[in-house]
Chain A
Amino acid sequence: MTDHSDHSHLSDTELRVRSLESLLVDKGMVDPAALDALIQTYEEKVGPQNGARVVARAWSDPKYKVWLLRDATAAIADMGYTGRQGEHMYVVENTPGTHNLVVCTLCSCYPWPVLGLPPTWYKSAPYRSRAVMDPRGVLAEFGTEVGEDVAIRVWDSTAELRYLVLPQQPDGTEGMGAEELAVLVTRNSMIGVEVVPAPMPEVSK
């Protein structure tokens, strides 16, 4: 907990939030137990592990991949991931000739059911300002090099469509099962700022 019991250490923002919460609870407008349940959902249950399972299934099941690219909302719902900020999903596939990158220049739209709440950098002015204008520079800041011959497609999430990148499956992982593959898939690869690295060679046991 970063919360301080000593009020003299509370910032103006912390005091404002405490005051607002106590007002809304006193008024009967919010149920404190519901607040805890909301927080627990996004802190413990919903996160990029969901999206990783979707990607891993698409890599290991060609029929599922076809479905995912044609009707992402239904294919993702089939995994049990639905609802708030993921009502209308669209999956974009990286290929040897195409690299996709997702941003929301106007606010912070992000596919919550499959990736959870967005990381701070995704919501920040530096990323939102430059992803559309200088995607190659942005990718370089993440250590990701995309060749001049590869087309970069930047998706600015200006409406209620939510985008998930289907990264390229790394070499040497053919034949791996979906569970094993899911461990390899990173959040950043599903936003499009990174690629999924090939797994480390197995250390001798």
Chain B
Amino acid sequence: MNGAHDLGGMHGLGPIEAEDNEPVFHHEWQRRVMALTLASGAMGKWNIDISRHARENQPPEQYLRNSYYQTWLVGLEKLLVEADLITAEELTSGQSLKPLPEDLAERVMHADQVTAILRRGDNFTVEDEDDAPAKFKIGDSVRVLNNHPAGHTRAPRYARGKCGIVERDHGVFVFADENAKGQGHRVGQHIYSVNFPARELWGPDASPKDCVLIDLWDGHLEAAD
């Protein structure tokens, strides 16, 4: 989606405000939102791309106004209701009206599992590379497709229609744009680091020495010859 989250190349957003010795969290509610989000993920009802889309899919003025963890909160509330883990009535009232189904109760993350779960992480690669032959090889010229899907995409707007060179093939990964459509949309595609000269992206005022490297899937690219 062409949302306010797709920020690369925007002007007018002000100076970068770096805080010396910044704490990990500034407020107790931020700690809770981070932990609630990770713990709720254990239900297995969404993947990282579904959750990214839940966060970015806000009216632009709201996205830009919200702080980081406010956006996480918006996303989590939306995910919980859409996955039917809670009802809209429960969210409004804060009162549980029905218990968790037994099969989900088995998935609840407990304190003694936290370290192992975090250290294991997720797996975004797809093993069977034969099903996903690489469309491009290192050194190929490619162009980012000029697509503007209403749903989730990891091809940033500033690169669409622009040409670059494939610099590295990272192997086969779950294609985020499909994965965001729901569980069971795991399609494997090669990811490449594509090197875009700064002048290709930003014009003659950019430094001739600089470049931006963007990780793009086969589904984002076409040959540029």
Interface residues of chain A, those whose CB is within 8 Å of chain B, are: 1-3, 13-14, 16-24, 26-31, 33-39, 41-43, 46-47, 82-88, 90, 105-108, 116-117, 119-121, 123-133, 135-136, 138, 141-142, 148-161, 188
Contact = CB atoms under 8 A, between A and B. Distances in A.
A105 B39 contact: no
Nearest to A88: B124
A151 B209 CA distance: 5
B11 A20 contact: no
A1 B28 contact: yes
B68 A159 contact: no
B210 to A, nearest CB: 4
Contact of B176 (A125, A132, A159): A159
B139 to A, nearest CB: 17
Contacts of A131: 8
A16 B80 CA distance: 14
B96 interface: yes
B108 A30 contact: yes
Interface in B10-69: 10-11, 13-19, 22, 24-29, 31-36, 38-40, 43, 48, 52, 55-56, 64, 68
Contact of B210 (A30, A120, A128, A151): A151
A29 B108 contact: yes
B170 interface: yes
B134 interface: no
Contacts of B173: 88, 159-160
Per CB-CB distance, the 5 closest pairs between chain A and chain B, nearest first, are A19-B94, A105-B8, A159-B215, A83-B121, A33-B111
B209 A13 contact: no
B125 interface: yes
Interface secondary structure of B, over-half rule: mixed
A47 B21 CA distance: 13
A124 B40 CA distance: 25
Nearest to B192: A159
22 contacts: A2-B28, A13-B70, A21-B36, A28-B108, A33-B111, A34-B109, A34-B113, A36-B35, A39-B34, A82-B120, A105-B6, A105-B8, A117-B34, A121-B18, A126-B15, A129-B13, A133-B8, A135-B210, A152-B207, A154-B211, A155-B213, A156-B8
B86 interface: yes
A26 B109 CA distance: 15
A33 B16 CA distance: 36
A2 B26 contact: yes
Nearest to A194: B18
A105 B13 CA distance: 13
A142 B15 CA distance: 11
| Residue among B8, B52, B121, B122 with most chain A CB within 10 A | B8
Contacts of A152: 198, 207, 209-211
B33 A17 contact: yes
B19 A121 contact: yes
Contact of A41 (B36, B118, B174): B118
Contacts of B13: 125-126, 129-130
